[in-house]
Amino acid sequence: MNKQDTTGRTTAAARPGTVGAGTAPGRFIAGLIVAQWLSFAALFTPILVSLSVRVGELDPEGKTVSLSRVLAVGAVLAMIANPLCGALSDRTTSRFGRRRPWLLAGSLVTTLGTLICGTAESLTTLTAGWAITQFGANAVYAALLATIPDRVPDHLQGRVSGAIGMTLYMAMVLGAVIARPLIGHNLSLFLLPGLLGLAGVTTLVWIMRDDAPADRAALPPFRLADFVRSFWISPRLHPDFAWNFCGRFLMFCGISTMTGYQFYFAVDRLGQSVPTASATVAVAAVVTMSGTVLGSLTGGWLSDRTGRRKIFVFVAALISVIGLVLTACAQTTTAFYTAAAVFSLGLGSYMAVDTALAIGVLPDRTTAAKDLGVLNIGNTLPQSLIPAIAPLFLSIGSASGTNYTALYLFGSACACAGAFAIHFVRAVR
Q: What's the pLDDT tens digit per position in 167-207? A: 877 887 788 788 878 888 889 999 999 999 999 999 999 99
Q: Is 366 exposed, middle or buried (0-12, 13-18, 19+ CB in 10 A)?
A: middle
- 212: DSSP letter: P
Query: pLDDT-derived band of residue 3, with 50, 70 and 90 as boundaries?
Result: very low
Query: pLDDT-derived band of residue 23, with 50, 70 and 90 as boundaries?
Result: low
Residue 428 to residue 384: CA distance in whole angstroms: 30
Nearest to 425 by CA among 270, 247, 198, 218: 247
pLDDT tens-digit series, residues 78-132 = 888 888 888 889 889 888 998 999 999 999 999 999 999 999 999 999 999 999 9
In this prediction, residue 225 carries a pLDDT of 79
Q: Are 207 and 35 in contact (CB under 8 A)?
A: no
Nearest to 88 by CA among 149, 146, 137, 34: 146
Could you please report the per-residue DSSP string of 391-409? HHHHTTT-TTS--HHHHHH
- 178: DSSP letter: H
Residue 2 has pLDDT above 50, yes or no: no
In this prediction, residue 24 carries a pLDDT of 58
Residue 393 to residue 406: CA distance in whole angstroms: 6
Superfamily of domain 25-215+225-424: MFS general substrate transporter like domains (1.20.1250.20)
Backbone angles phi, psi at 185, to 5 degrees: -120, 80
pLDDT tens-digit series, residues 314-339 = 888 899 999 999 999 999 999 999 99
Helices (H), 230-362: 239-259, 262-268, 274-306, 310-329, 333-360
Residue 270 to residue 273: CA distance in whole angstroms: 9
pTM, 2 dp: 0.69
In this prediction, residue 19 carries a pLDDT of 41
pLDDT tens-digit series, residues 407-426 = 999 999 999 998 888 878 87
Q: End-to-end distance of the chain based on CA atoms, in angstroms?
A: 30
In this prediction, residue 42 carries a pLDDT of 92
Query: pLDDT-derived band of residue 1, with 50, 70 and 90 as boundaries?
Result: very low
The mean pLDDT of 292-310, rounded to a whole number, is 78
The percent of residues above 90 in pLDDT, for the chain, comes to 30
In this prediction, residue 101 carries a pLDDT of 94
Residue 425 to residue 320: CA distance in whole angstroms: 20
* Ranges of each domain in the chain: 25-215+225-424
Residue 232: Cβ within 10 Å count: 8
Residue 260 to residue 278: CA distance in whole angstroms: 14
In this prediction, residue 44 carries a pLDDT of 85
